[in-house]
């Protein structure tokens, strides 16, 4: 039986804590020997999608590319922790459809924090 992967998609406004939470989850899973990879919006924007801007079309392309990578990781039994603003419901729905095993976590925090 092959290990089952899943993508945990952290979404929310900039500064809400998506990356911080994903890092903590990653550390806890690694400590237990669970195969895990983290895809972070800021890191991806500096590598895989550096050619894209911030128009709606570019944001959708960004999420489409990330969803493809997350799908490959998930398919091979990895827990993929993806932290992206992904502001449009339709783009998250496409990611969910592309990936399959998908948990969406909305991260929010008071603006003062």
Report in angstroms the alpha-carbon separations of 97 from 29, 64, 85, 91, 101.
25, 11, 18, 10, 9
Give the active site residue among 47, 55, 83, 86.
86
**Known catalytic residue: 55?**
no
Token code pair at residue 45: 């924007």
* Residues assigned a catalytic role: 86
């Amino acid at each position: 039986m092959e290990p089952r992967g899943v993508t945990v998609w952290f979404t929310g406004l900039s500064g809400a804590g998506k990356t911080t939470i994903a890092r903590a989850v990653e550390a806890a899973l690694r400590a237990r020997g669970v195969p895990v990879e983290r895809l972070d919006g800021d890191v991806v924007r500096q590598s895989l999608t550096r050619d894209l801007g911030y128009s709606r079309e570019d944001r959708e392309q960004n999420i489409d590319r990330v969803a493809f990578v997350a799908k490959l990781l998930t398919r091979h039994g990895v827990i993929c922790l993806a932290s992206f603003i992904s502001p449009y419901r339709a783009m998250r729905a496409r990611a969910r459809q592309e990936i399959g095993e998908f948990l969406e976590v909305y991260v929010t925090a008071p603006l003062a924090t």
